[in-house]
Amino acid sequence: MTGMNKRLRIGHLSTQKSLVGITIIISLSWLVVMCHYDFFQEAYAQIQNQSVQTSIPDLKSPRVAYLTDGRFSDAGWGAFAYNAGQEIISKYGYEVSFLDNVSISNIETTLKSYAVKDYDIIIAQGYEWGDPVIKVAKEYPDIKFVVFTGLVKSENVASIFPKQQEATYLLGALASMLSKNHTIGFVGGDEKYPNLKNIYEGYKQGALHVNSTTKVLVTYLSDWDNETKGKLAALSQIEQGADFILHVADTSGQGVINAAKEKGIYAFGAVSDQNKLAPDTVVTSFVLDPIKAYDSVFNMISMNNFTGTIFTPGLESTKNSTTEDGIIYIAPFYGFQNKIPKDIQAKFIQLSQDIRNKKIIVSE
């Protein structure tokens, strides 16, 4: 081999060795990168998995128990409870268990029986539930309690006490404007309930506002579940000249409506829209809005900011009004829309606006 060929051969081998070295370095570098990539990918996956696991408790649907001494079949107070519970299911996606017709003497026992079942929220509908809820809530601080038409509060107890008297003020005014005898009636379940007293006083205040000579008859039954008592009370008021009667008496109130129907006078429904019970007799009703009734409480819960608060929502202009905080509205006039004089309807609308704008303050 000549000197030149030898030098060429040696140069060629050196080039090959360099290429091999570079290839090895690149391969090792790629291996290191891939190892790091696998490491970071695994670490990222673990972080993601921990994030999902952490969020799972937040996605758990709260379990709600809805308890009341009313009856779901009463077409009024109890019916509102059932409808409100159904709205909670559809609106918030919560699991809701229902129990109605709880005797007053069994309220505390019933509350405890549901508390031990690990419900997250217990709704107690009825003024009588207030004190027992406060007592039981102390034993179960992790459960949130809500009393509807309650006036109690504590760290884990909130109440909703709607100003139903704002709506009955309007019904009293309407009855007073329409009454031919200048005599109207009110039949209540039991006067020991402060919300019922407010409802009656609002009714009377509205009636006397538009006609100070209107006579307002009042009867308390001391019984919420006796149609016969309700009917007899209404018949007595009709004999005294009442031609419009408002009842707030649950099942007993259906007897009031039946008496009004039989005697050809007019009635107002309570809590739920009761026109269907007697379409030619029930002019309208004041209605607790089941769609919005518990928004104030569930908004606190969704923000993880539940506090012991007593909410006092009042009148709203229409059902499920999204621009107002009120949860009580007046049902349509249905077949009476064309029978009530236009000037009276205009006055009625103006009074409603004045209440919502605080130009008229209905006493409590």
CA atoms within 13 A on the CB side of 121: 25
Class of domain 165-293+319-356: alpha beta
Topology given in CATH for the domain delimited by 63-160: Rossmann fold (3.40.50)
Alpha helices in the chain, H assignment, sequence order = 3-59, 77-92, 107-115, 130-139, 165-178, 194-210, 227-239, 250-263, 295-302, 342-356
Residue type, 281: T
Give the model's pLDDT for residue 121.
98
Quick one: pLDDT at residue 59?
A: 52
Could you report the per-residue pLDDT of 36-69, keeping only the tens digit for each? Answer: 444 334 443 343 444 333 333 445 789 999 999 9
CA atoms of 76 and 272, how far apart (whole Å): 5
Would the pTM of this model clear 0.85, i.e. be above it? Answer: no
Domain ranges of the chain: 63-160, 165-293+319-356
Residue the block writes with tokens 């007899």: 232
Per DSSP, the three-state class of 267 is strand
Which pLDDT tens digit goes with each residue over 124-166? 999 999 999 999 999 999 999 999 999 999 999 999 999 999 9
Checking if the pLDDT of 8 tops 60, the result is no
Q: Tell me the two tokens of residue 240.
A: 């005294």
